[in-house]
Amino acid sequence: MPRYPGHPERRPVLIAGGSSGIGAATGVMLAAAGHPVALGARRVEKSQEFVEKIIAAGGEAIAVPLDITDAASIDECITKAEAELGALEVVVSGAGDLWPGRTFEMSDEEFANQVTIHLLGAQRLYRRVVPEMIDRRRGDFVFISSDVAADPRPHMGAYAAAKAGVEALALVARQELEGTGVRASLVRPGQTMTGMGTNFDAETAAAMLNDWVTFGFARHGFFLKPVHLATAITTIVTMPRGSHMRLVEVEAEAPIAEKPQQGDTE
């Protein structure tokens, strides 16, 4: 008998933050790979647009209301997803938003809101689904972090603190889950072109980017696309049992420099 039985044929997925960006792209990709997918988000109407796209392509998906800041909403979302798709084998914690600001100018409430969404939301979701995965001796839980957790930068104090907490939580989860058959993984994206953060006004964006350049960030203007992160997440959860991709960092590649022409001089 193999040390690690293979993945079951049917592996239902819940994606928190499935109405746009990385979450929506991941849902589409996993559905195309044969996973039944539940897209959880507050904007159910936006999630439904991706559900219809998945179904039209021959996949299986549902849109489920989810407010990651509300434990009751998390419970209702998971209960509905499992009633329609079956026990969750894969959960991706990617819900969140971003509000920049200097830490000495942000209100206590503004700072706390980001910690509540990104860190406490991930913890609530993890706590709700992982005990049942442990009982089944299998499952994947994927935390979505950010490169600001490893390299904090101006105007990102609340977001960086929350994501650093997510990374600590993911590390502890890996330790506590060792030997259970459940894998906790962390994806650390670089700058990604998503809807998160596009509501900044011009003055806020300019102040933030200028300070980033001062401290050596924003070295080039290229951004990742959501599909790049979806590819990383899909790779993580489809790894054969007995293997574990614990941390995946994905950064935008810099523009390719032009080759010097023959005869050019320095």
pLDDT in the model for residue 24: 96
pTM: predicted TM-score of the whole model, two decimal places: 0.90
pLDDT in the model for residue 199: 57
Tokens read off for 237: 């959860």
| pLDDT by 10-residue block (mean), the chain, 266 residues | 83 96 96 98 96 98 97 98 98 88 92 95 98 98 94 90 97 97 96 62 68 69 88 97 96 84 62
pLDDT in the model for residue 255: 85
Per DSSP, what are the bridge partners of residue 131? none
In the chain, what's the furthest Cα-to-Cα distance? Answer: 69
Residue 67's φ and ψ, nearest 5 degrees, are: -115, 105
HSE-CB for 112 with a 13 A CA cutoff:
3
Sheet order of strands, 182-189 included: 61-65, 37-41, 13-16, 90-93, 139-144, 182-189, 247-250
pLDDT in the model for residue 1: 47
Q: In angstroms, rounded to a whole number, what is the distance separating the alpha carbons of residues 37 and 249?
A: 24
Q: In angstroms, rounded to a whole number, what is the distance separating the alpha carbons of residues 195 and 198?
A: 5
- Are 251 and 224 in contact by the 8 Å Cβ rule? The answer is yes
DSSP helix/strand/coil, 88? coil
Query: 71, 76, 53: which is closest to 126 by C-alpha?
Result: 71
